Amino acid sequence: MAQFEKESGYKVEVTLSNNEEMISKLRATGGAGFDLAQPSQDRINGPQTEFGIYKALDLKKVKTNLFIPSMLDATKKNTTVAGKVYGLPHIWGTDGLVVNTKLAKITDYPDLCKAEFKGKTTMRLKRPALLAFAFASGKDPFALYSNPKAYGALMDEVGKTMMACKGNLRFYWDNKDQVVNGFLSGEIVGAMAWDTGGWKLNSDKPEFQFIAPKSGALGWVDAYAIPAKGKNDAAAYAWINFNMRPEIAAKVGAAAGQFTASKGADQLADAKLKAQFAASFPEAAIKNIRWYPAVPAGLEEIEGRILDRVKAAN
């Protein structure tokens, strides 16, 4: 931030948030209050279709040669509404399993619900958990995105599975620090969590490992999007182009413990992080990553009802 401010003359003010809060805030203001947003790329199409909270990107103002071409193409496709592009890729990563391998053998999401781990596992009570358990049951929830009735029926089944698992969970986690602290204190031995949390733990103690589940890790890409009533598009485009420079992207990646969509930044990545990625993701596991497609309008309401039901269950 300091380097960008010095180079560009723009002042940066950051608000930390998550997908749900971002959509809610921008919906409430009609897309005002922020010049740039960074939702996950699969959460742009639906809210834009329903609420019109973003403005189409002017790709002539973006240095697209700085992006990994395949990731740029996939994100453009996922964030296109009525022929216009609303998102560009930035940081990417996965949801999978973090395990204390000295105390537990866990290879897929349902293992978190085994009786032997009662009170010793955790997950987020968010849509990734629903999707993970759906894949683990042998179904492909993404294939049902265009069929709300069938998707709702699958989510009902997954909801029952998650209710039955509830007694196994020490807590539902909200942020990465809760997961890290839970493992370090010995409260938990397994979690559905982000790869970065597992790698952070592994840096201190090798028994903590991030494992790509048998049914596939869930792949996410956080994107750049410009709110509909943003007042400083020039600053937003300057920030995007600055952050995608390989040397800057490598710094961001090191700070976040993630990889970015910047072409060439991976060559500058920390050697330890590259080794951890290789250990967690042999080639077969990379091919098995379930990349989130764009979420159609209305689908999150179905998921919200199931999550509320799970939360309320005894």
Domain ranges of the chain: 2-92+220-281, 94-218+292-312
pLDDT of residue 314: 77
Which of 4-13's residues contact partners 24+ apart within 8 Å by CB, and which partners?
4/238, 4/239, 4/242, 4/243, 7/242, 8/235, 8/238, 8/242, 10/232, 10/235, 10/238, 10/239, 12/239
| DSSP state at residue 217 | P
For domain 2-92+220-281, the CATH class is: alpha beta
Same CATH fold, 94-218+292-312 and 2-92+220-281? Answer: yes
β strands within the chain, DSSP E? 54-55, 80-81, 84-85, 88-100, 121-123, 169-172, 190-194, 208-211, 218-224, 226-227, 259-260, 290-291
Instruction: Tell the CATH topology of 94-218+292-312.
Output: D-Maltodextrin-Binding Protein; domain 2 (3.40.190)
Closest CA to 252 of 264, 243, 261: 243
- Would you give per-residue pLDDT tens digits along the chain (314 residues)? 999 999 999 999 999 999 999 999 999 999 999 999 999 999 999 999 999 999 999 999 999 999 999 889 989 999 999 999 999 999 999 999 999 999 999 999 999 999 999 999 999 999 999 999 999 999 999 999 999 999 999 999 999 999 999 999 999 999 889 999 999 999 999 999 999 999 999 999 999 999 999 999 999 999 999 999 999 999 999 999 999 999 999 999 988 888 999 999 988 988 888 899 999 998 899 889 999 999 888 898 999 999 999 999 87
pLDDT of residue 153: 97
pTM: 0.86
pLDDT of residue 269: 85
pLDDT of residue 270: 85
> Roughly how many angstroms between the first and final C-alpha of the chain, as a whole number?
46
| Dist CA 201 CA 183 (whole Å) | 8
